[in-house]
Chain A
Amino acid sequence: MTALVEVELDAWGFTNELDRLGWGDGLPCLPPTPEVVAEYVAASGLDGDHVVGQLPSSMADCTVTTIAANAAMTGMPREAMPLLCAAVVAIANPDFCLASVNATTASVCPALIVNGPIRHTLQIPFGSSCLGGARGSAPSIGRALRLIIRHVAGQNIRANEVDPSSITSETIFGQPARVVSIVVGEWEERSPWAPLSERRGIPGDAVTAFAHMGTDNICDTTADSGVKLLEVIGKSAASIGANPFLAATPFSEVAFAINPIWADIIARDVPTIEDVMYLIWDHAAVPITWIPEANRGPIEELGRVHSDGRVHLLASPDELIIFVAGGLGSLHSALLPGFSGVLAVTQSIER
């Protein structure tokens, strides 16, 4: 059942009321009037009362109307409702483990990687500045997802305005994407490999929710082959402070956005994505002796030490999320460090 609240209806007045209502993220919001919310519901192609998912820790029903209200607050294009609804389905999947993502001391939050023709319809960025900064619909979609996580999942961060009896997140630092989630497309037309979502079993319009800890840059100006680029990429991820190296982490995932120029060079030397993933995985390793002695026991107990004395960042190459994106200026690829014990989820987008 939809609850209505009386507020000031102009954007300035409404924004000033957000603190009193316990809504929002600190940025201005637009008032989600019933008329506007109805337009968003219609654009979803679903009934307003339809329950899209239950999001922890509240496990409250997340209806299309609730999603629409949050979307309306950001001014997100109405046409993005099918994508936003699919994203909610993805993060509600138990494998994504939003309960852990929301509660943790880590800075983790969902990034959305979009595949299929819908990238063009919604102008989801996949070229220059695709991880943040490109003008378009992505920031409002990403912000709507974050508002849903606050308003529906009930993620309450330990901060001065929050009653301790409602705290559900202990993040130490947070990160900018906890206000506006990354929403990035794959540049499928420039990728030498099949699209990410297709490789994960869902061709066409799809969104992959990946729990990431921020972004890190991988720069190289000297590699003379695709194989050497893969070495740089893999080794760049293998920092012993990374969550996947935490003692007793049973599984983790890491994502890489490879720029189209590097993708061409890599594919010239290493044609199959399986071999690409294997080489990155193999290089993302450190000698067990790099890990402090006190931390080694649980890692050894899990059988993670290879016969050559190395510990891989990830248990298997399958734990890599690889997609092609970024500007054509080359030089840089992006690492999206992963969390522990959670999995990316790919969901089809129904239009």
Chain B
Amino acid sequence: MPQGLVVDPTAQFSVPATVTNTTIGVNGEDTVSLAGRKIGLRQDPYWLSWEWVVDEWAQLCRNDGADVLLHRHYPSVGKAAEESLSQLDSFVASSDVVVSGLATCGGCTMWTVHDAVRALDNGKPAVIVATEHFVELAQNLSSRAGHPGARIVVMPYPLEGRSEAEVRQIARDKFAELARTLGVRA
């Protein structure tokens, strides 16, 4: 068979080698408590289960002495894009750490990562919350966006189809892991 050269039809891109590993502690160090911290919780009304998780985590954060800021995701597309991004940036600026979820479908994983990366790009710690099935997608998209190793809290999959009581219990059970991922040692 004749051999010869062809033009590579793929585009070259590189994933940065630096690993994002920031936490809410001073200078990236772990801390002992959430007390006094402003925890930004991203809401996504697509997922009722995530609304319940956010509700539970907000209460638990407040119980630990943290302030909670809530931000409802709206896609930054079309005429509302500028306003949507402005609101997101304001939320990021007001928070000490952003908890971005829920990555439990393809599009919502993309937007969850997008909003977390918006925080990381602005020097704010961020944690992505993903269900088991969508962890790889979340890792890959955050890597391509310049943040390999972004911190991820993994939730059971699927979360939908479970009762509110069951989801709220899962949220309570996962809170300690969230706190550790945020950088709380205790």
Contact = CB atoms under 8 A, between A and B. Distances in A.
Interface of A: 2-10, 13-14, 22-23, 31-34, 37, 55, 57-63, 65-66, 68-70, 72-73, 94-95, 97, 99-100, 103-106, 147, 151-152, 154, 164-171, 246-248, 250-251, 294, 297-298, 301, 340-343
Contacts of B18: none
Given A3-B8, A103-B106, A167 B137 contact: yes
B85 to A, nearest CB: 10
Interface in B113-170: 114, 133-134, 136-137, 139-141, 144-145
B91 interface: no
B112 to A, nearest CB: 10
Interface string B29-62: 0000000000000001110100000000000000
B144 A154 contact: yes
Given A59-B13, A95-B78, A10 B2 contact: yes
Contacts of A167: 136-137, 140
A100 B111 contact: yes
B27 interface: no
Closest 7 CB pairs of A and B: A60-B11, A248-B45, A104-B106, A170-B106, A60-B13, A341-B75, A3-B8
Given A57-B144, A100-B75, A4 B107 contact: no
A99 B114 contact: yes
B136 A105 contact: no
Interface in B1-40: 1-13
Contact of B140 (A14, A65, A147, A166): A166
B9 A69 contact: yes
A213 to B, nearest CB: 12
Residue in A14, A57, A60 whose Cβ sees the most chain B Cβ within 10 Å: A57
Contacts of B7: 2-5, 32-34, 37, 65, 68-69, 72
B140 A105 contact: no
27 contacts: A2-B7, A6-B3, A7-B3, A7-B6, A9-B6, A32-B7, A33-B5, A55-B11, A58-B13, A59-B144, A60-B13, A61-B11, A63-B11, A72-B7, A94-B81, A95-B77, A99-B114, A103-B109, A151-B10, A154-B11, A154-B144, A166-B140, A246-B46, A247-B45, A294-B48, A301-B45, A341-B107
Contacts, number: 160
Contacts of A70: 9
Chain B at the A interface: mostly helix, strand, loop or mixed?
mixed
Contacts of A166: 140
A104 to B, nearest CB: 4
Contacts of B10: 22-23, 66, 151-152
Contacts of A62: 11
B74 interface: yes
Given A57-B141, A103-B110, A168-B140, A73 B1 contact: no
Interface residues of B, number: 40
A171 B137 CA distance: 11
Contacts of B134: 170
A23 B7 CA distance: 12
Given A3-B7, A8-B2, A168-B144, A100 B110 contact: yes
A100 B81 CA distance: 15
B105 A170 contact: yes
A348 to B, nearest CB: 20
Contacts of B136: 164-165, 167
A170 B137 contact: yes
Contacts of A97: 75, 77
A118 to B, nearest CB: 24
B11 A31 contact: no
A341 B81 CA distance: 11
Contacts of B105: 104-105, 170
Contacts of B81: 94-95
A192 B183 CA distance: 64
Contacts of A154: 11, 13, 144
A66 B4 contact: no
Contacts of A147: 9
Contacts of B137: 103, 167-168, 170
